[in-house]
Structure 1
């Protein structure tokens, strides 16, 4: 990207980026508050609930960092120094790794929840959800360390625009890499992502198979006791499956655009890449909330309390 300052004239693209960040932060904040509200009111947490809370928090931070980067692209107030550039992009890489790990583990935990008692996965049902968060943190730090050498190539942009540099924002740029270094980073990052995506796909296939088998059994036996118990889990499973499907779609689109950016570092393509890279973080809370029927009861409860407060105030 030879003239990153030209982006300052892209008003519509700038507003689209900020709108995406605002929508995503609002949705994830509401999802996080909803889970905190349910926890305070003593609802027994599902195995996946701590991960959903953590994922919403990760996505809030990701979108805040994206807003910070977008501000440095479009509205440069003060140039970042070399340390700030490295810190911002290390934080972004860490949050992206956490999001990938958490999404993959979410699908695995939901598959464990659905597994019958005779399954080899059943023994993991008795594990504390907070043990899973420890494993998640370890995996995220381990896999984010794979991309940490990339930070040595991120530096504060020079005052003069140089055609050999890849400009990420107005303050930060990427130093030129040799073909072997670029190829090594590509193999490592692709292999890391592929591992988690494969786990997601396997867990999703298991959940779809379980749901189809349960549906056939329900149709054959017409048993209310058989169908009522898993109903809530079915809704939760459908939510996780929607998440997995959307993640895979957005990850595929993001990978294609990343490849296109390696051959054409255009201004518009750079902004489209930012939009698609944060599409999952923006839409995911709404996919989860769409299957939560408790939201209706929460709104009723809040509305009832507001009416009582108004009546007491008037009285």
Structure 2
């Protein structure tokens, strides 16, 4: 049953992220200009694909009873790329929320001054995320090794297809603090941006309600749909990320993690990368509009 769950997450996650990424590649080669969030979503799908490929595939193989014989270098590479993809996924999701908050901010607000610069800063910000998480997670492979490593290790714990090495509690706590500090900052910015967007959209709805009173009674306004999409995306991300962090901390503090701890932690780590392309379906609708426009121009 666990194997089927991992297999479903892996298949749907790869299919959703690759489909979304393919659309942006299609628009690039056909000369159509995608939406302003296109660059962020492209890197988000790449990061999610890395998480699914380096976590979902090994966990699926392991869950079906097939042994994975990874060397020390293989384990270090898998966990490093996994942590890198997870960090960039969090950073780009945060950047997407902040970008949308600046975009919809009223022209008389303080954020309005950033509307002109935000498009120029998107690319450099994404580059900073990649470099930051490359540097932060470079210490992670030092504490991961193959399960068949013959070196003398003070503490060794089972991580499924690899093993973890921990010297003492202080080193473990410092490592956890260094690895989670950027994540906490990104998560806080994303929650702030989402709350700001909800209040901004609600205020806009209140101001125009007397103008479109008859129309609102017949159909759901675009402001309401935008608010709902923001709440669904952020609440889903925060829920999955919080559960994943709780189980990851529990796994890190356990000297001898159980089979259920390993699989439940991996399952929640794969949730958001697998469902995020479908939560971003409004972006896909915008891409289809661009596609139809390109065909008409052709």
Q: TM-score category by the smaller chain?
A: 0.7 to 0.9
For 1:90 and 1:275, locate their aligned partners in 2 and report how far apart those are by CA, in whole Å.
18
The structure that has the greater radius of gyration is: 1
Structure 2 residue aligned with 1:75, among 66, 79, 86? 66
Structure 2 residue aligned with 1:34, among 12, 20, 23? 23
Partner residue, 1:4: none
For 1:196 and 1:252, locate their aligned partners in 2 and report how far apart those are by CA, in whole Å.
13
Indicate the larger mover: 211-220 or 146-155. 146-155
Report deviation, 1:104. 0.5
TM-score, structure 2 length as denominator? 0.82
Alpha-carbon displacement from aligned partner over 1:189-214 (angstroms, at most 9, x marks no partner): 33222111110011011100111001
- Is 1:166 the counterpart of 2:157 in the alignment? yes
Report deviation, 1:150. 2.4
Partner residue, 1:107: 97
For 1:130 and 1:72, locate their aligned partners in 2 and report how far apart those are by CA, in whole Å.
43
Partner residue, 1:244: 234
Structure 2 residue aligned with 1:190, among 174, 180, 191? 180
- Is 1:277 the counterpart of 2:266 in the alignment? no
Partners of 2:9 and 2:56 within 8 A in 1: no
Structure 2 residue aligned with 1:122, among 112, 115, 119? 112
Report deviation, 1:13. 1.3
Partners of 1:115 and 1:121 within 8 A in 2: yes
Alpha-carbon displacement from aligned partner over 1:244-303 (angstroms, at most 9, x marks no partner): 2111011111122123322361101211111100100011111111575457769999xx
Partner residue, 2:199: 209
Report deviation, 1:121. 2.3
Alpha-carbon displacement from aligned partner over 1:4-61 (angstroms, at most 9, x marks no partner): xxxxxxxx21222121100111111222233444556665433322111221122122
Root-mean-square deviation over aligned CA pairs = 3.1
Report deviation, 1:241. 3.6
Aligned residue pairs, count: 282
**Any gaps of 5 or more consecutive residues in structure 1?**
1-11, 225-230, 305-315
Partner residue, 1:154: 144
For 2:76 and 2:138, locate their aligned partners in 1 and report how far apart those are by CA, in whole Å.
10
Q: 1:211 to 1:253 in 2, by over 3 A?
A: same
Partner residue, 1:48: 37
**Any gaps of 5 or more consecutive residues in structure 2?**
215-220
Alignment of 1:223-242 (within 5 A): 235=225, 238-242=228-232
TM-score, structure 1 length as denominator? 0.78
